[in-house]
Structure 1
Amino acid sequence: MPPISNWKILKVRRQDLRRNSTPAERRLWMHLRRRQMLGYKFRRQHSLGRYIVDLYCPSRRLVIEVDGNSHFSVGGQASDRQRDAWFMTRGIHILRFRNDQVLKDTAGVLRAIKVWFNHP
C-alpha cells in the first residue's frame, strides 16, 4: 500500500498552491505556523492520498480547510463530501471555515480550533 502522505507526484502542485494561497489561507497560516496553536505543528498544502489539504496537524490527524466560492457550487459540495468521506474512513478529522469567516472573524476561527483541540 502506498504511503498516505505527500505523494511525490503532487509535489509541484503543492508548491504552486503554497505560492498562490488565498488571503484567508495566509492569514490562518500566520496564526498556526511555528506551533502557535497550543504547541501543535501544522503543515500547509499537505497531500493526503490524492487530495491536497490547506492545513494539516499530523499529531492530531486534523485537516483544516479554508473554503472559497467554488466549494459552495453543487459540484464543489459533492467533491467536498467525497473528500471528507475518504478522510473520515482513515480517522482524519476535518474542520471547514469560509474565506470570509477567516478574514472577518479570525479570532472566532482560532477559538473554534482551540475548542476542537480541547474537545475533539
Structure 2
Amino acid sequence: MKRTIIPYTPQALEYAKHLRQNMTYTEVKLWMELRNGSMMGYDFDRQKPMLNYIVDFFCKDLMLAIEVDGITHEDEKVLLKDPIRQDEIEMYGVSFLRFNALDIVHDIKNVVRTLENWIFEFEERNGVNEMVKQKRFFLENPKNRKRDNPPQPLPGGDNPAVE
C-alpha cells in the first residue's frame, strides 16, 4: 500500500520538536508501549506534525493517529477546535483513537488491548505488511536476531572465537 504524505508547516515541525522534549507523564507512559515496534511490530512516531497541527502519536503503516486527552482538552477553545482539527487530518485518510489521560495512568492494559483490537480489525480488512510480519517474528523470537546469536564455528576447523 502506498503511503500518503501529509504536509506540515515549519511552525508545526518546530513545535513538535519542543513537545518531544517536554512530553507529559501520560504520553511517556503510552510511548513506552508503542516505541521500537513493540506494538505488534508497528512503528509509531511521537509528536508528529500534520498540516498546522501535531498529533501525539502516529503510525504511517496504519494511518492511525493516537491522541491523549488530558486536562487541556477540557478547555472550551480546545473542545471546539479538536473536531475541526481531526476532520482536516482525516481528509488525508488518517483514523483517530482517543484515550483519556486518566485511563492511560490507571488502566494502561485496557488501553493497549483497545489499540491491539483496532489493529486486528485493520489487518482483517487490509492484510499485514511483510515488514510488520518480520518485526513480529523477531519480537516473538528474540533469540533469532542476528546480534543475539552466538558466533558459529567454521566448518571443519578450530575457531578461537567460539568456546
Larger radius of gyration: 2
Q: Is the 8 A contact 1:55 1:63 kept in 2?
A: yes
Matches within 5 A, 1:1-120: 4-120=6-122
Q: Distance in 1 between matches of 2:8 and 2:40?
A: 24
TM-score, reference length from structure 2 = 0.68
Q: Is the 8 A contact 1:6 1:46 kept in 2?
A: no
Q: Distance in 2 between matches of 1:54 and 1:19?
A: 13
Q: Is the 8 A contact 1:32 1:42 kept in 2?
A: yes
* Runs of 4+ off more than 2 Å: 3-12
- Structure 2 alignment gaps of length 5 or more: 123-163
Q: Aligned residue for 2:134? A: none
The change in CA–CA distance for 1:90 and 1:111 in structure 2 (over 3 A counts) is: same
Which structure carries more relative contact order (alpha carbon 8 Å, separation 6+)? 1
Q: Distance in 1 between matches of 2:7 and 2:35?
A: 19
Query: What number of residue pairs does the alignment pair up?
Result: 118
Structure 1 vs Structure 2: percent identity of aligned residues? Answer: 33
TM-score, reference length from structure 1 = 0.91
- Shift in Å at residue 19 of structure 1? 1.0
Q: Distance in 1 between matches of 2:26 and 2:11?
A: 26
Q: Distance in 2 between matches of 1:7 and 1:59?
A: 22
Q: Distance in 1 between matches of 2:98 and 2:118?
A: 12
Q: Which has the higher strand share?
A: 1
